[in-house]
Structure 1
Amino acid sequence: MSTLLWPDIHSEFIPQLSQRRLTKTYRALGTTINLTLFGTAYESQLDKAFELIQFYEDLLTVNRTNSEVMAINQAAGKHPVQVSYPTFNLIQKAWQVSCQNRGFNAAIGPLVKLWKIGFAGAKLPKKADIEAKLQLIDAQKIQINPTNLSVYLPLKGMELDLGGIAKGYIADRIQDLWRAYDLHNGIIDLGGDLLLMGSQPIHPDQLWRIGIQDPNNTRGQAIAAVKMPPCSIVTSGIYERRFEYNGHSYHHILDSLSGYPKENDLASVTVFSKYSLDGEIETTNLFFAGHPQTNWTNADLYGAVFVTKDQKIWLSGFKPSDLKILNPAFEIQTRP
């Protein structure tokens, strides 16, 4: 019979044990990862979550030569590729959403690599090169086979890019892992995309305080704040991954119709949802819509905050009284 040794939290009485906070920082997914647990948590449980992140990154990344998604891309125009269930499950979801043509496109890979926005060598491509890539980003051409878990890209040069959805999927899986440990209060921060688990253990009302990023300022500067129960918070914005050329700024949210960054009045859209995967999808779709959508909220989609380039705030699923304005230069408008 083996013995498992745990830190002895019972050797002395710990006041407000539920508020005890354990945080650790990691590097993965091309960003800084901050994982936090409250209460009787252990560093090993944070490390297990990081191992899970590394597991999914190894499957899904397109920023390395070897991954299951890269195997699919490298076989484009040649043959289908069988993949593991997690990879197939996410690709199937991404394909279904992409075929709705609302903005999110899992086949956007050739355009992303052409522009390289957010990576070394970002440039304004030639129009002819953009038009050539547009022929390769039709998500409806992706062939998936649920029977043998295979994915086929029928045209040479087609490429999947799950960067706009993978972090949300991974955050949801970390929450599943921690719940399996019977841990219910924590913060999953994957480079600014947040998943808040359980009640907030510090404030008496047990609600989380979430800031809306100022698109004209450094990360961490908020223009407004909202109190929320457990939820995911994901933002699509034009202010972080971008480059300047001949006096014009180009952001990373690429339009599958034009081949250029999507142009509208928005600086950002922040979605509050039950699942982080849904948040990733809906921030992109709402950014492309350009304004709040009628009957958009449901049991899993709680609300959205739109911030415009001219410092207006539009709301979906929230009342103006739900937001506390922190920067008076921004004002809430009841409708676009």
Structure 2
Amino acid sequence: MINDLAKQRHSMVHHALGTKIVLTLFGDRYYPLLARSMRLIDEYEDRLTVNRPQSEVMSVNHAAGKGPKVVSSSTYDLIKLAVKYSRENFGFNALIGPLVKLWKIGFTGANVPRDADIQERLKLIDPYKVLLDDDYRTVFLEEAGMELDLGGIAKGYIADRIRDFWIKQGVQAGIINLGGNLLFVGKSPRREDGQWVIGVQDPRLKRGDDIEIVRKPACSAVTSGIYERFLEVNGKKYHHLLDPRTGYPLQTDLSSVTVFTEQSVMGEIEAKRLFFNGAPINGWGEQSGNLGAVFIAQDGTVKNVN
């Protein structure tokens, strides 16, 4: 049975969420679900994107400083989750867009801004200036110029929704790859123990070269790292992970942190929590939903947390 299912592998490639999407299902009967899943991804992107003039999130941004906007229940729930963890002030901040646009690291016009400009932008990324109304599902950004950007959490949320759809349809095994954000569904048909073999990228080498291999049951794998997007000025590198507490790139000895979690959306959050912490957190692995992490230092040192 395991071998038969492994042979019934079907994949579909799509471009969405600003990246390459690859969905893989095992089982011939589930092949039609691939196209339906891609349409679901597109529908979520239509609501959540900030890379187009119109979306539910952009309607909130356009109304910043003016008034609240009603959004769909799924968009509201994700915004509420993002704001909750942004208020914990550990590094994840869904309001950081104005600061990102000031630095532009990874985009045309990347520069090291004046400190005075950074301090001004910091006033626009306060998550406590987001008013949420659960009864009416409205979101209000109090200050003009504030922006919600769910890019740091949306892929995980969407991956979870695709997994839920697959499970409801009876899928036994599959892989959701949203541009490196991985979610494994069911038991691996390639291994007797049902575990999935997951490679952790070596930050010093090209994409696809692994520094560590782990085996896990169905889970999400999400990485936060500084090795792909950076700006170099006068011999100094400035990476793209900005610290919302200072307005500058985070000072760290780490190159990446990969976390394994039950929920992909929580993987997005916990990867940033651990990366910004700079080291393992006591008791983190015992918390519900957390299944392990791999820390990679800039000198190549690897530390596993189970």
TM-score normalised by structure 1 residue count: 0.87
Q: Which of these residues, 184, 194, 197, is aligned with residue 196 of structure 1? A: 184
Once residues 306 and 18 of structure 1 are traced to their aligned partners in structure 2, the CA distance between those partners, rounded to angstroms, is 31
Alignment-derived partner of residue 225 in structure 1: 213
What percentage of residue pairs aligned between the two structures are identical? 52
Once residues 18 and 107 of structure 2 are traced to their aligned partners in structure 1, the CA distance between those partners, rounded to angstroms, is 10
* Correspondence list, 1:167-316, <5 A: 167-297=155-285, 298-316=287-305
Q: Which has the larger displacement, 257-266 or 146-155? A: 257-266
Which residue identity lines up with residue 12 of structure 2 in the other structure?
K
Once residues 58 and 117 of structure 1 are traced to their aligned partners in structure 2, the CA distance between those partners, rounded to angstroms, is 25
Which residue identity lines up with residue 110 of structure 1 in the other structure?
P
Query: Could you tell me how far 1:315 is from its partner in structure 2?
Result: 2.4
Alignment-derived partner of residue 142 in structure 2: 154
TM-aligned CA distance change 1:220 to 1:41, over 3 Å:
farther
CA contact (8 A) 1:41 1:183 kept: no
Query: Could you tell me how far 1:181 is from its partner in structure 2?
Result: 1.3
CA contact (8 A) 2:254 2:297 kept: yes
Query: Could you tell me how far 1:32 is from its partner in structure 2?
Result: 0.4
Once residues 5 and 301 of structure 2 are traced to their aligned partners in structure 1, the CA distance between those partners, rounded to angstroms, is 42
**Unmatched tracts of structure 1, length 5 or more:** 1-14, 318-336
Q: Which has the larger displacement, 235-244 or 225-234? A: 235-244
Query: Could you tell me how far 1:252 is from its partner in structure 2?
Result: 1.5
Which residue identity lines up with residue 283 of structure 1 in the other structure?
A
Larger Rg: 1
Alignment-derived partner of residue 70 in structure 2: 82
Alignment-derived partner of residue 59 in structure 2: 71
Q: Which has the larger displacement, 249-258 or 230-239? A: 249-258
Q: Deviations over 1:276-314 (max 9, x none)?
A: 001000001111111000011223111111100111122
Which residue identity lines up with residue 299 of structure 1 in the other structure?
S
TM-aligned CA distance change 1:18 to 1:220, over 3 Å:
closer
Which residue identity lines up with residue 48 of structure 1 in the other structure?
R
SS at 2:197 equivalent: strand
Alignment-derived partner of residue 99 in structure 2: 111
Query: Could you tell me how far 1:69 is from its partner in structure 2?
Result: 0.7
Once residues 29 and 41 of structure 1 are traced to their aligned partners in structure 2, the CA distance between those partners, rounded to angstroms, is 27
* Correspondence list, 1:325-336, <5 A: none
Q: Which has the larger displacement, 116-125 or 93-102? A: 116-125
Give 4+ residue runs of structure 1 displaced > 6 Å after superposition.
Answer: none
Once residues 52 and 258 of structure 1 are traced to their aligned partners in structure 2, the CA distance between those partners, rounded to angstroms, is 37
Query: Could you tell me how far 1:124 is from its partner in structure 2?
Result: 2.0
**Aligned alpha-carbon RMSD (Å):** 1.3
CA contact (8 A) 2:296 2:302 kept: yes
For CA contacts below 8 A with separation 6 or more, give which structure has more relative contact order: 2
Once residues 177 and 8 of structure 2 are traced to their aligned partners in structure 1, the CA distance between those partners, rounded to angstroms, is 18
Which residue identity lines up with residue 130 of structure 2 in the other structure?
I
Q: Deviations over 1:106-148 (max 9, x none)?
A: 1111111222223333222222211110111111111100010
Q: Which has the larger displacement, 178-187 or 228-237? A: 178-187
Alignment-derived partner of residue 16 in structure 2: 28
